[in-house]
Amino acid sequence: MNAADFRANHDPSDHTEATREATAMNDTARDASADPRDPGALHTPVLLDRCLELLAPAIERPGAVVVDATLGMGGHSEAMLEAHPELTLIGLDRDTEALALAGRRLERFGDRAILVHAVYDEIAEAVRGAGFDRIDGVLFDLGVSSLQLDDADRGFAYAQDAPLDMRMDQERGVTAFEILATASEGRLRAIFERYGEEPLAARYARAIVAARANGPIMRSGELVDVLQEATPAAVRNQRHPAKRVFQALRIEVNGELSVLERAIPAALDLLAVGGRAVIMSYQSLEDRLVKRELVRRSRSTAPAGLPVELPEHRPEFRLLTRGAELADTEERERNPRAIPVRLRAAERAREI
């Protein structure tokens, strides 16, 4: 049963506990009148037109359901709801501040916008909680959001001194400060190597352990000073020594890659035939995971040498992009946060 059929036959009064929680989150998110910030002015959606173009054949169908798995401040969601008047959107975000701002932006769409406080690997539970068993589209805009980067108090940006928090959901989880204070030198090195691909990981881990012996490293500025001191002058002239370390800490704090490894297969499993997934990554580690799963699902499983491909061996998905698409020069100049984006998309071709 696809999403449109399910919606036509679903009794809206038959709400689960998860549905009630989603409704409560809608009320909380929309109660943001005390916040003077305009979410539309705070954030420019990346590759907006291309995302709409790729998703349109799937979500323009009557009764279609789309999931914005990384709602942020709701720019992509707003555009989808405006373009498709019969569309229902389920927006997920782990950041309650982002949900509140997006809720205000999307409140004019009423019950067509269902906002859920959730990490995107909880997508299946969120969809079922909203009363659906299939979806017609899903959008992932990965990485740290503009809201998180621009709020100095969150500690994401190495160029701004702030408490070393880095949690996308500030209601739960371990902070970057706690990791720096408790992790062994070996663990710190592994984090910087794996999630930052940092060639000076060992040097930085050793420097952090030595520095914290004199007192905790509590602020981003203090960490930058430690890294600067540990970096050879030739390297300092080539790149900022904190960039990869801060990326690695952020990924570790939020479990981003492990969450993504679960989320992409779960999202693809939810798509009805003809449903489409559009995924934007901003660093190579994310993009490798996305590419691997999309390519795997888009290959025939027929054994080598089989003279005829049986229906059950045909690919589940077909790729809609040739490799990863990049933002054009005009968008890169207009919106610098589009510079590292890599977009991939696929369409479900058959049920398994």
- Residue 88 DSSP SS3: strand
* 76 annotated as a binding-site residue: yes
Q: By three-state DSSP, how is residue 89 classified?
A: strand
What does the buried/exposed string (b/e) look like for 98-137 if buried means 16 or more CB atoms within 10 Å of the residue's CB? bbbbbbbbbbebeeebbbbbbbbbbbbebbebbbbbbbbb
Torsion of CA 134, 139, 143, 147, to 10 degrees: -110
Q: Is 74 annotated as a binding residue?
A: yes
Q: 257: which 2 tokens?
A: 């890659």
Collapsed DSSP state (helix, strand, coil) of residue 144: coil
Which amino acid is located at 141 in the chain?
A: D
Q: What is the three-class DSSP state of 43?
A: coil
Residue 148 counted as an annotated binding residue: yes
Bridge-based pairing state of the strands 113-117 and 88-93: parallel
Using DSSP bridges, classify how beta strands 271-281 and 135-141 pair: parallel, antiparallel or unpaired: parallel
CA pair distance 110, 131, nearest whole angstrom: 16
Distances (CA, A) of 307 to 301, 303, 304, 312: 13, 9, 9, 14
141 among annotated binding-site residues: yes
Task: Specify whether the CB–CB gap between 20 and 131 falls below 8 A.
Answer: no
Residue 93 is assigned to a ligand binding site: yes
Specify binding-site residues.
74-76, 93, 120, 141, 148
Residue list, annotated binding site for S-adenosyl-L-methionine: 74-76, 93, 120, 141, 148
